[in-house]
Amino acid sequence: MQAAQATFAARNGSAFVGFVGFVVKKGQQQTSDRPHFIACSHVRRILNCTALSPMGGTFYAMKQAKDNQMPAIERKAQAQRHRLDPRPGKVRYSWRWLGATLAGGVLASLAVATGGVPALIAVGAVGVAGAAYTLLHEPRRPRLERVTLRFPDLPLGLDGLRIGQISDMHLGMRYAAANSRWAVAHMAREQPDLLALTGDFVSYAHAIDELPTILAGLPRPPLGTYAVLGNHDHWEGVSAIQHALEPLGIVFLVNTQRRLSFGGAPLVLAGVDDLWDGVPDLRATLAGAPPGAFTILLSHCPDMADEANERGVHVQLSGHTHGGHMRLPGLGSFCLPRHGWRYAAGHAHAGATQVYVSRGIGGMPLRLGCPPEATLITLRRG
């Protein structure tokens, strides 16, 4: 009996990992005949390290020129070489979740062994209901999160500044377009002072054409609308995404900054390139900023926050992690991608830097305790 239970538990754990892989595959099959991919070659790593030098902007320009000149057939071949790999190293899984899954499998087997057919039916019903909620209900029920960030030394003019954030639209995935339209409508209703779009606009290149239509209803805030690039944007086509969105007045910040003013107080808004497959250079991004000016950094990957703290950034807005897709009290996030391991979701601190990590509005249609979100952030003094 004990041997049978152990076998059942092992199979249940394997089935759980297989279930996640199945969801990834089905989510991709909705709009594409190829899976998305992960670019993490040694050449990329070397390039990213080199980008930390003052020549970072030059390397980014060289990279963009090379990408633009790459023949379509070569791009496709490159994409085929870098497929989504859900194994540890690219994605970090929670041992708490895996342990809870194994324990649940053992308990379910005991219930079936002692309760017979009625218990089997009950366990099956619970499983079906949980899967339906996780796959069909929560992924299409986005929320507007209202967040207040407080700073004792916030300039008086910035007290009450409202920032709208939309992250990780991932057009091409199931529910992504509908959720993104919902987010646009809520931003139009809220009328923030500034809009931040923190990357991963699409999951597939063919969805780039949908961007202007879906985002056309965004408001035109007095301080403007700004965006940074995510890893999927690099994989699917930076130039095409920028070309689609710039007519809407969206300004891309790629290792650069804008000096703004609100309520008579200076404000530096900076944006850094993606950590995964871009050429991030935070030193160049913040170079020349007025000493002591309140600084907001847009970074797709949240793990930039530690360096942001070292460089005196006050606020960092990020996405990338989707909150781990499944997130429950006591268990935390189920899975987190690289460069999103230290700051998973919501409000956090990296030293003196306050970080907010959006769960994103789209992505893989698998959500439990981690609904999609658009965010309205208010800065307060005190």
For residue 312, the domain's CATH number is 3.60.21.10
Give 71-97 as a DSSP string. -HHHHHHHHHHS----STTTEEEPHHH
Cα distances (angstroms) measured from residue 73 to each of 29, 44, 79, 90, 165:
21, 20, 10, 26, 36
CB 93, CB 324: distance < 8 Å: no
pLDDT at 153: 94
The rounded radius of gyration (Å) of the Cα atoms in the chain is 22
CB 325, CB 366: distance < 8 Å: yes
CA separation for the pair 242, 253 (Å, rounded): 11
Q: Is residue 296 scored above 50 in pLDDT?
A: yes
pLDDT digits (tens, 9 = 90+) for 39-97: 333 333 333 333 333 334 444 445 555 554 554 444 444 444 344 556 556 788 888 88
Question: Cα 324 to chain center, whole Å?
Answer: 9
Predicted TM-score of the model (pTM): 0.79
CA separation for the pair 60, 48 (Å, rounded): 10
CB 345, CB 359: distance < 8 Å: yes
Which one is predicted more confidently, 227 or 2? 227
Indicate the residue type of 10: A
Give 288-319 as a DSSP string. TPPTT-EEEEE-SSGGGHHHHHHTT-SEEEE-
pLDDT at 261: 95
Q: Which residue has the tokens 């993104």?
A: 180
Question: Taking residues 256-267, what's their average pLDDT?
Answer: 96
CA separation for the pair 228, 198 (Å, rounded): 5
pLDDT at 87: 59
Highest-scoring range by mean pLDDT, 42-56, 117-131, 189-203, 328-342 = 189-203
Q: Tokens at residue 171, please? A: 């057009």
pLDDT band at 209 (very low <50, low <70, confident <90, very high): very high
Q: Is residue 2 scored above 60 in pLDDT?
A: no
Residue 91 is part of which domain span?
A: 1-382
| Domains identified in the chain, total number | 1
Please give the backbone phi and psi of residue 135, each rounded to the nearest 5 degrees, phi first.
Answer: -95, -30
Question: Taking residues 116-130, what's their average pLDDT?
Answer: 84
pLDDT digits (tens, 9 = 90+) for 299-334: 999 999 999 999 999 999 999 999 999 999 999 889
Please give the backbone phi and psi of residue 190, each rounded to the nearest 5 degrees, phi first.
Answer: -80, -30
Question: Cα 122 to chain center, whole Å?
Answer: 36
CA separation for the pair 226, 282 (Å, rounded): 17
pLDDT at 123: 77
Mean pLDDT of all residues in the chain? 82
Highest-scoring range by mean pLDDT, 11-25, 72-86, 136-150 = 136-150
pLDDT band at 124 (very low <50, low <70, confident <90, very high): confident
pLDDT at 88: 57
Cα distances (angstroms) measured from residue 147 to each of 31, 81, 160, 322, 378:
34, 40, 12, 17, 6
End-to-end distance of the chain based on CA atoms, in angstroms? 62
